[in-house]
Amino acid sequence: MNDTDLAARIDRSFGDGPAPQPPHTHLRAGRRALLRRRVATGAGALAVLAVVGAGVAISGLADDGGGSGTGPSGQEPGPAAAPDQAPAVPTVPPLDVRRADLGPGGLVAVDRDGTLVLAPGVRVVEVVEDPLDSAPADPSAAVSVVRGDQERWSLVTSSGYEFSQPAEPGGSDFAAWAEQTAAELPGNSDADGADPDVGDLQQLRLVRFGDGETLRAEPGTTVLAQTDDVVLPESFAAPDDRTAAARVDHDGDLLFVLARQLDGSDPEFIVYPQTARTGATLTSFLSFAATKYEDGPGGGSEGLR
């Protein structure tokens, strides 16, 4: 029996077994593992962050009244800044951080160079570095932060995208949230400027007009926010036309809908996915939509579809 014979006989000696798991199962497991690794990296960096923050406070640059014996935000130091820990020379690359006024409600941002920007009084609980894997072009960060007695989870990019929500209760897994939120962003793939294919989305019936310029959810859809204040170029609708916009959840997908009824004709509902370019609010989406309906160099506008 030669090698070829033996190889063939071994190959025939058993079948293919039950159906294998679909590839996306392995993909999810891989993403979780990658995220855990990043969280571990972030946690290591946080120890340094605490030292860096303390340094800021000592140098008088902290503008939140942080005093002696407190962390950078003026709050009690976290475990990483425990008094019995000497400010050793960092053995991991530091996670750069600076303080800045981020405007009303602004808690955290990330600079073009990946520096984490914290508003005064904000303390970092946990960081996932670059969950969108978009550095160096557009660094991102998922950050669990505390100000006062409130903890919020934010996903931010250097290009200005921000999604933020109160921390999920019951000791939920921040890293899992960061992974899920990052995965839900089609903008993870359109930051290069390409528009997503929205053709199939137009088949969805997500909302209908209610009274006036209100929108009502169709079954299977939840309206998360809506507005009748839709100010877009006239290539979308004239000022007197009936218009509205909504941000909706449809089977877990976050989508925007632009609604218009031109000159009493049938209503139209234009569906667009939430991406890094649309942002996660109606305001940011309408700003994005305005750019799509502006007249181009040739005098036309492509709009959102």
Partner 1 sequence: MRAAQRDREFTEFVAARQQHLRRIAYAVCGDWNRADDVLQSALTKLYVAWPRVRRAGTEEAYLRRIIVRTDIDEHRRTWRRREQPGLDGHDRAAREGLGVEDRSALFEALQSLPEMQRKTVLLRHWLGLSVEETASELGIATGTVKSHTSRGVAALQQVLAAT
Per CB under 8 A, residues contacting partner 1 are 1, 3, 6-7, 9-18, 20-21, 23-27, 29-34, 37, 132-134, 182, 188-189
**CB closer to partner 1, 37 vs 208:** 37
* Residue 220 CB, nearest approach to partner 1 (Å): 27
Question: Residue 290 to residues 80, 91, 174, 230, 296: CA-CA distances in angstroms?
Answer: 46, 48, 34, 10, 12
Token code pair at residue 290: 């305005």
CB of 44 to partner 1, least distance (A): 17
d(CA 220, CA 191): 29
Q: Which long-range contacts (CB under 8 A, 24 or more apart) does 189-195 make?
A: 190/275, 190/276, 190/277, 191/134, 191/137, 191/138, 191/159, 191/276, 191/277
In this complex, which beta carbon is closest to partner 1, that of residue 24 or of residue 89?
24
Residue placing its CB nearer to partner 1 in the complex, 70 or 275:
275
| Cβ-based nearer residue to partner 1, 40 or 58 | 40
Structure tokens at 13: 């000696």
| Nearest alpha carbon to residue 116 among 213, 221, 46, 62 | 46
Nearer to partner 1, 1 or 89 (CB): 1
Contact 243, 230 (CB under 8 A): yes
Per-residue exposure over 46-82, b if at least 16 CB sit within 10 Å of its own CB, e if not? bbbbbbbbbebbeeeebebebeeebbbbbbebbebbe
Q: C-beta of 17: minimal distance to partner 1 in Å? A: 4
Cβ proximity to partner 1: between 37 and 216 the closer is 37
Smallest distance, partner 1 to C-beta of residue 95, A: 20
Q: How far is the CB of 12 from partner 1 (least distance, A)?
A: 7
Question: DSSP letters of 62-85?
Answer: --S---TTS-TTSS---GGG-TTS
What is the closest distance, in whole angstroms, from the C-beta atom of residue 139 to partner 1 in the complex?
Answer: 13
